[in-house]
Amino acid sequence: MTLKVGVLGYRFMGKAHANALARLPMFFPDAPDVERHVLVGRDEEALTEAADRLGFATTSTEWEKVIDEVDVFYNLGPNFVHADPSIAALEAGVPVLCEKPLAASLSDAERMADAAESAGVPTATAFNYRFIPAIQYAKGLIEDGELGEIHQFSGRYLQDWLVDPDAPWSWRNDEELAGSGALGDLGAHTIDLARFLVGDIERVSGHLRTFVDERPIDGGADTKPVTVDDAYSAQAELEGGVMGTFEASRFATGHKNDHSIEIHGSKGSLKFSLERLNELELLREGDRGYETILVTDEDDPYIDHWWPPGHVIGWEHTFVHENYEFLSAVENGDEYHPNFADGLAVQKALDAIERSDERGEWESVE
């Protein structure tokens, strides 16, 4: 059986997922057969060019018309268009992969998760960093008790693409369209890794800041207000009493895509940085310092599909792993994680951090 995939969105994430779909049969022979069937967008001319470049058979400017002709629907559009197309696909019994954060608001995320539960088909919230081999390796270490009892999790995601006050306004700067700024765009990834590696977040204390209140439109004299955060930080309590700290910024001068985590336990600790994604720093009980492990051996997660040991992989390969796992679940009718319920759990934490900032007090994640 060939799975016909429909994709809404053809820019950054559209390219990342199309690249992953193209690589699947080359490196994962047991992956489902996939047809890049239809690409969906608003600009017909740009859409046609993108479909030719990304290998899609057809195009459409109306997502409503493609739901019934695809076996899988990818919603890679801006946050404010996550809910309605995804829900419509689920109501038609079509599995859905949706980019993160799950929605622009908690209420929309709840509607999406409810639709997923009713549909009973696989769903995916696109937290691709779960599928980094070093993160999978870290997950195994924690589950095997190598770090002992986990005491602390810290994570930060730092970028600097908005440091220039004259950087142009985009939908990512608008609360109605994006939901939040660095919190949802970057912090969602960190919160998901905390849940994946350590456990659920139970309560938070958050702080959000906006450093530039308005930005120019397309380099002209007119401006639009910035209504989301440029940076956030949060303290958290995770299940089992684990202490958590989170931070993200689009104003961290000198940081391009610096997503890093540290986990400290009673018997050891580990460190990971996305900018060195093939490496895991590990301290075991009795060690005098951290050991840097190059996670490229054939017996490391996913690496048997790629290159000989020492031949590193990159950011784009995480999407290949993600698509392999999700589409395999679709073909086999298996449960997949992170699904829409996982996306909702992250959205609840994001919402609680915003509420905490507004009220100046700890908030439960419920």
pLDDT tens digit sequence for 217-243: 986 789 999 999 999 999 999 999 999
Of the candidates 128, 124, 114, the residue with the CA atom closest to the CA atom of residue 5: 124
Give the mean pLDDT of 282-304: 96
Across-strand partners of 242?
238
What whole-number percentage of the chain has pLDDT above 90?
98
Residues 67-109: tens digit of each pLDDT = 999 999 999 999 999 999 999 999 999 999 999 999 999 999 9
CATH 3.40.50.620 for domain 2-128: no
Per-residue CA distances from 228 to 73, 98, 185, 208, 327 (Å)? 29, 22, 11, 9, 34
Contact 88, 67 (CB under 8 A): yes
The DSSP result for 56-119, as a single string, is -SEEES-GGGTGGG-SEEEE-S-GGGSHHHHHHHHHTT--EEEPSSS-SSHHHHHHHHHHHHHH
Contact 189, 156 (CB under 8 A): no
Contact 313, 307 (CB under 8 A): yes
> Whose structure tokens read 């997503």?
259
DSSP helix/strand/coil, 150: strand
CB atoms within 10 A of CB 20: 21
Entry pTM: 0.96
Give the mean pLDDT of 181-199: 98
**Has residue 355 got a pLDDT over 90?**
yes
Give the mean pLDDT of 153-169: 96
User: Alpha-carbon distance 60 to 39, whole Å?
Assistant: 6
DSSP helix/strand/coil, 167: coil
| More confident: 366 or 325 | 325
What pLDDT does 218 receive?
81
- Reported residue count of the chain is 366
User: Alpha-carbon distance 58 to 18, whole Å?
Assistant: 14
Phi, psi of 188 (to 5 degrees): -60, -40
What pLDDT does 29 receive?
96
> Whose structure tokens read 């950087």?
167
Q: 340-359 and 188-197 helices cross at what angle (nearest 10)?
A: 120
What pLDDT does 366 receive?
87
User: Alpha-carbon distance 56 to 203, whole Å?
Assistant: 44
What pLDDT does 124 receive?
98
Residues 27-38: tens digit of each pLDDT = 999 999 999 999
User: Alpha-carbon distance 323 to 126, whole Å?
Assistant: 9
Average pLDDT, rounded, for the chain: 97
Contact 129, 192 (CB under 8 A): yes
> Whose structure tokens read 């994001």?
350
| 276 contact partners, CB below 8 Å, separation of at least 6 | none
| Domain definitions of the chain by residue range | 2-128, 130-313+339-364
| Superfamily for the 130-313+339-364 domain | Dihydrodipicolinate Reductase; domain 2 (3.30.360.10)
DSSP letter at 186? I
CB atoms within 10 A of CB 35: 15
What pLDDT does 177 receive?
96
- Dihedral sign (CA 212, 227, 351, 207): positive
